[in-house]
Amino acid sequence: MSRRIFEDLAKQIESKKKDGLYKDERIIESHQGAEITVGGRKVLNFCANNYLGLSSHPAVLQAAKDTVDSRGFGLSSVRFICGTQDIHKQLEKKVSEFLGTDDTILYAACFDANGGVFDPFLDQECAIIADQLNHASIIDGVRLCKAKRYIYSHIQMGTGEYEFDGRKQLGLEGVLQLEEVRNCKYRMIATDGVFSMNGDLAPLDRICELAEKYDALVMVDDSHASGFVGRTGRGTHEYFGVMDKVDLITTTFGKALGGASGGCTSGRAVLIDWLRQVSRPYLFSNTLAPSVVGATIKVLELLSSSTELRDRLESNQKYFRQRMTAEGFEILPGDHAIVPIMFTKFSPDDAPVAQAFANDMLAEGIYVIGFFYPVVAKGQSRIRVQLSAAHTRDHIDKAIAAFVKVGRKHGVI
Ligand SMILES: *Cc1c(COP(=O)(O)O)cnc(C)c1O
């Protein structure tokens, strides 16, 4: 009977293909960058997390090569047996300095950091209070932990009920006021710093205020912020002026910070010390490859010495938002390099428009991705554009011209 699963899965795959929900991967034949080669053709890439253009930066590549020579390819060990080199400690120190925290612990990925950040601190007598749109890895990390779970309506801070995607939910303060939450031993608020589908920021100033008022800890996943959000790129906590108020930050090295892989949890010394003792994805998974460590140290050195890249990204992002709005596109307002182009005027038939739009954009040489239900709510289909410091004005103008041409064709503008 169990072997029936092969047929059952084949059927489910077929039905995903029929519904247009099957994920096909496009193959890149070049370095990651503003210009990439896909299927033998050069296109402009507007869908990478390569926010600062560091994925193929010469100084970063050189640092990776040098570290292979000086520290080898791999360590064949977890950290606490024989997988810690001097450079792993250096990277942890550099990350702490950059984020303004006491200490940092490295993980193979931010997915693992989130998988190992809740269970070590919280048991069944505790509460996790999470934003409704948190990243999958936070959701999974919360599932691995015995604490009671409460969800608040996306970025809503108040005491009222809010409707989102047809459901009513309390705001953060409403959840914090619940008797059963107030009676818990410890409370931890968990949120993305920046939400990847919307490019909107969690209001960390208000979140930290409420955390103080209701005696809660604050955990922020800043994967879409570290390196470029905030005046000097330290992240969402810098943007909102609460650098000393956040207890735990998880983030990735796989986006703005070079884009290879790796992640970390950073925060108060005693918390990080405890994670080193008991956090399972840290204890039972191989140490980060030396080349990734050496290159990420170089990235942090570059970003600490100049804000040029994050400044360029900010001006690219603002320019694109302003021009696209002037052309008549509906974009979710914000102040981030993720710019969602919406198709709500076609709702409820917006999904096919977004899909066809993305395909036509690729034919114009612009690589962008359409997102539709179930990745986003029904009627909220979008093309998510991601700007990079690697984009020149010319690249961005070409993308806007293609948007205008394809937009007219589909009656979007
Ligand atoms: C990308 C992302 C992750 C996963 O990071 P990896 O290092 O690739 O595992 C985790 N959280 C958020 C919010 C992300 O956007």
What pLDDT sits at residue 373?
86
Place 21 in a pLDDT band, splitting at 50, 70 and 90. confident
| pLDDT > 70 fraction of the chain, expressed in percent and rounded | 100
> pLDDT for 152-186, tens place per residue?
999 999 999 998 777 899 999 999 999 999 999 99
Annotated active-site residue 266? The verdict is no
Mean pLDDT, rounded, for 292-303: 98
Q: Name the residue ranges covered by the structural domains of the chain.
A: 19-48+307-409, 60-305
What pLDDT sits at residue 395?
98
Q: How far is CA 250 from the centre of its chain?
A: 10
What pLDDT sits at residue 164?
77
Q: What's the CA-to-centroid distance between 356 and ligand 1, angstroms?
A: 28
Q: What's the CA-to-centroid distance between 405 and ligand 1, angstroms?
A: 34
Atom of ligand 1 nearest to the CA of 193: 13
Q: Regarding the domain delimited by 19-48+307-409, which CATH topology (the fold level of the hierarchy) does it fall under? A: Aspartate Aminotransferase, domain 1 (3.90.1150)
Atom of ligand 1 nearest to the CA of 255: 1
252 pocket-lining for ligand 1 (C-beta < 6 Å) = yes
HEC string of the chain? Answer: CCCHHHHHHHHHHHHHHHCCCCCCCCCECCCCCCEEEECCEEEEECCCCCCCCCCCCHHHHHHHHHHHHHHCCCCCCCHHHHCCCHHHHHHHHHHHHHHCCCEEEEECCHHHHHHCCCCCCCCCCCEEEEECCCCHHHHHHHHCCCCEEEEECCCCCCCCEEEECCEEEECHHHHHCCHHHHCCCCEEEEEECEECCCCEECCHHHHHHHHHHCCCEEEEECCCCCCCCCCCCCCHHHHCCCCCCCCEEEEECCCCCCCCCCEEEEECHHHHHHHHHHCHHHHCCCCCCHHHHHHHHHHHHHHHHCCHHHHHHHHHHHHHHHHHHHCCCCECCCCCCEEEEECHHHCCCHHHHHHHHHHHHHHCCEECEEECCCCCCCCCCEEEEECCCCCCHHHHHHHHHHHHHHHHHCCCC
What pLDDT sits at residue 319?
98
Q: What's the CA-to-centroid distance between 189 and ligand 1, angstroms?
A: 18
Mean pLDDT, rounded, for 259-267: 98
What pLDDT sits at residue 258?
98
Q: What's the CA-to-centroid distance between 326 and ligand 1, angstroms?
A: 33
Mean pLDDT, rounded, for 73-99: 98
> pLDDT for 100-115, tens place per residue?
999 999 999 999 999 9
Annotated active-site residue 395? The verdict is no
Would the CATH topology of 19-48+307-409 be identical to that of 60-305? Answer: no
CB 285 within 8 A of CB 81: no
Mean pLDDT, rounded, for 311-334: 97
What pLDDT sits at residue 322?
98
What pLDDT sits at residue 20?
77
What pLDDT sits at residue 267?
98
Give the predicted TM-score (pTM) of the model: 0.97
What pLDDT sits at residue 284?
97
Annotated active-site residue 224? The verdict is yes
Whose CA is closest to atom 1 on ligand 1? 223
Average pLDDT, the chain: 97
Q: Name the CATH code of domain 60-305 (choices 3.40.50.720, 3.40.640.10, 3.65.10.10, 3.40.50.2000).
A: 3.40.640.10
What pLDDT sits at residue 378?
87
> pLDDT for 356-398, tens place per residue?
999 999 999 999 999 988 888 889 999 999 999 999 999 999 9
Mean pLDDT, rounded, for 307-323: 98
